[in-house]
Structure 1
Amino acid sequence: MFGLLKRFFSDSDIKPVDNTPSVEPVHYNGYLIFVMPQEEAGQYRVAGLIEKPVVGDVDAENLKHQFIRSDVCMSKPQAEQITLQKCKLFIDQVGDNMFK
């Protein structure tokens, strides 16, 4: 019983998102969207990274907002499409407030 609870509450199944994405970003309204769905039990969880380059300071690191949603999809292309749609909507609704 304890082992089941430990596995349920453990974060070992959560894969950390690398700070240097290996996917090409989608440029949208001054933001970079990295679509990175996570494979999970044969399905794909909607996940990604939104960055905004800091203008004027060459040494400054981009502002970053990493997210993992509860949405799961049957295929990777479907998860990628939904991730991109949700990112664009989030950018339109929240803008730079996502970095606060």
Structure 2
Amino acid sequence: MIGKLIRGLFAGGGDAAPAKPASKEMPAVNHEGFVIVPEPRQINGQWQVAGRIEKPAGDETKTHIFIRADTLSSADEAASHMVRKAQMMIDQQGDGIFE
């Protein structure tokens, strides 16, 4: 019993269904030189706010994986929410996102 509890803490939920990405690709959004790529994930019938924040840096692209605990009823709502949160994060932290 304790082993199952410990596995659940470190395995991200134990018996919960694994996250599945949205079946349709969401459009990327440009903001202040950053590219915001919403990638909502379906978890137990809800959509988790998730995606990437990217910024070109010379020959490579810096990437920040963006996953929040927020869940919403549709993939479009989760994608819109992700874009708003990512824009706010970019405005507040700028390139500090990648540190």
TM-score normalized with structure 1 length:
0.77
Query: For the Cα contact (< 8 Å) 2:28–2:37, is it kept in 1?
Result: yes
Runs of 4 or more consecutive aligned structure 1 residues displaced over 4 Å after TM superposition:
11-15
Count matched residues: 92
SS at match of 1:62: strand
Q: Distance in 2 between matches of 1:72 and 1:24?
A: 19
Whether 1:10 and 2:11 are equivalent positions in the alignment is: yes
Cα offset, 1:63, TM superposition:
0.8
Q: Which amino acid aligns with 2:54?
A: E
How do 1:1-100 residues align onto structure 2 when only pairs under 5 Å count?
A: 1-2=1-2, 4-5=4-5, 6-11=7-12, 23-54=26-57, 57=58, 60-100=59-99
Identity across the alignment (%): 35
Which residues of structure 2 form unaligned runs of 5+? none
Q: Distance in 2 between matches of 1:49 and 1:88?
A: 12
User: Cα RMSD (Å) of the superposition?
Assistant: 2.5
Change (3 A) 1:14 1:92: farther
Between 5-14 and 90-99, report the one with greater CA deviation. Answer: 5-14
TM-score normalized with structure 2 length:
0.78
Q: Distance in 2 between matches of 1:81 and 1:23?
A: 10
